[in-house]
């Protein structure tokens, strides 16, 4: 994929999977061998699906800024992003989290993601939102 195709692919993935929390679309974007490391905590595809389901239970709404940084290394299949996510929980708390993510893509699927999250608003309540995984 070229840079524009990767940008579109990831933009669509973010909307479908990470903002709409549509677990039925995960296989469209992610490899069955997917590994994610968020704030030092590793998870596989099933654990990532549990994370999405957990978010569905606790989050009322999610919105994302545009990508402040979008770097693509075509040779390595690596994409680095930086963006913010605004979150409203079902309990009414609101938060904002900065995310830096490095994706590895192979054959049109995401196989790996390393990400760091930093709560910018309501830090205690949203410190683990990027890796929460309990239904």
Read off the pLDDT band of 69 (50, 70, 90).
very high
Locus of tokens 């009414």? 92
Give the pLDDT of residue 121.
66
Q: Is residue 88 part of a domain?
A: yes
CATH code at position 15? 3.10.450.50
In this model, does residue 124 exceed pLDDT 80?
no
Position 87 in a domain = yes
Does the residue 133 lie in any domain?
no
What stretches of the chain show up as alpha helix (H) in DSSP? 3-13, 26-29, 45-58, 123-126
What is the C-alpha to C-alpha distance for residues 57 and 122, in angstroms, rounded to an integer? 19
Q: Quick check: is 45 in a domain? A: yes
Highest mean pLDDT of the ranges 9-13, 36-40, 47-51, 91-95: 9-13
Residue 41 included in any domain: yes
Structural domain that includes position 50: 3-126
89-121 per-residue burial string, b: 16 or more CB within 10 A, e: under 16: beeeeebbbebebbbbbeeebbbbbbbebebee
Residue 130: both structure tokens together: 């990027």
**pLDDT one-digit tens code per residue, 44-61:** 999 999 888 988 888 899
Once rounded to an integer, what is the mean pLDDT over residues 96-123?
89
Please tell me the predicted confidence (pLDDT) of residue 55: 84
Report the number of distinct structural domains present in the chain.
1
> Within a domain: residue 134?
no
């Amino acid at each position: 994929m070229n840079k524009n195709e990767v940008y579109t692919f990831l933009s669509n993935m973010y909307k479908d999977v990470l903002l709409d929390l549509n677990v039925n679309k995960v296989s469209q974007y992610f490899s069955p061998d997917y590994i994610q490391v968020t704030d030092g905590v590793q998870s596989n595809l099933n654990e990532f699906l549990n994370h999405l389901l957990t978010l569905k239970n606790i989050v009322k709404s999610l919105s994302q800024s545009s990508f402040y940084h979008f770097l693509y290394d075509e040779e390595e299949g690596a994409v680095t992003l930086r963006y913010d996510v605004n979150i409203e929980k079902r309990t009414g708390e609101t938060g904002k989290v900065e995310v830096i993510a490095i994706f590895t893509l192979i054959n049109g699927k995401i196989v790996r993601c390393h990400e760091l999250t930093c709560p910018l608003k309501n830090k205690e309540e949203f410190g683990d939102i990027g890796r929460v995984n309990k239904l």
